Amino acid sequence: MKILKFLLIFFIIILIVLIIPLNVLIISDGSHNYIEFIGEKEMEITYNHSVEKSNVIEIYKVNESGIYLIKMEWKDFGAGLPQDYQYINNGYYVKVVNIYIGKNITYWFIKDNQAKIIVDGKLLLNVNNNSLIKIKVEKWPIILILMETI
């Protein structure tokens, strides 16, 4: 009887732990979810601009409150690129900002963009085809995180 009671209490504790929500960064390309636990992350998105054909680097800070654009680097002025910059570094125009984007951001990349998403220095996604990329900050229960990553 003591073993049964112990197992029941143990099962209840495990169940409670598994439903605790954690803050996660989810990067989805439509077929896979890349999940990172959030404390504070740096996310870098690099791509070739589809009109200007030059490299663009966007740096974001991600935490439980959302996604913040903190820096942008680009090689040329043109369609959709900033016209003002603060300094030039290694041939890139650089603009340092702190803009709250929200809890999600969506990109449409085409094959020619050759986009890469890097989180804390680790390449998470190398976009080699036409893809809708969704990036979100959400709270997920531990059990859902485990189910998605196994």
Domain that holds residue 86: 2-149
Residues whose CB is less than 8 angstroms from the CB of residue 33 and which lie 6 or more positions away in sequence, other chains included: 26, 27, 148
What contacts 24+ positions apart, CB below 8 Å, involve 79-87? 79/49, 79/51, 79/52, 80/49, 80/51, 81/49, 81/52, 81/56
Q: Which of 26, 50, 49, 29 is nearest to 37 (CA)?
A: 26
Residue 81 banded pLDDT, cuts 50, 70, 90: confident
Convert the pLDDT of each residue in 98-128 to its tens digit. Answer: 999 999 999 999 999 999 999 999 999 999 8
Cβ neighbours of residue 94 under 8 Å, at least 6 residues apart? 71, 72, 73, 85, 86, 87, 88
pLDDT at 52: 76
Least confident segment among 41-45, 46-50, 64-68, 103-107 = 46-50
Tokens of 105: 């951001």
Question: Which two tokens mark 11?
Answer: 């099962």
Structure tokens of 72? 């942008």
Model confidence band, residue 1 (pLDDT cutoffs 50, 70, 90) = confident
The total number of structural domains in the chain stands at: 1
CB-based contact 35:51 (threshold 8 Å): no
Residues 6 or more apart in contact with residue 123 via CB below 8 angstroms: 116, 117
Q: Locate tokens 């603060």: which residue?
A: 86
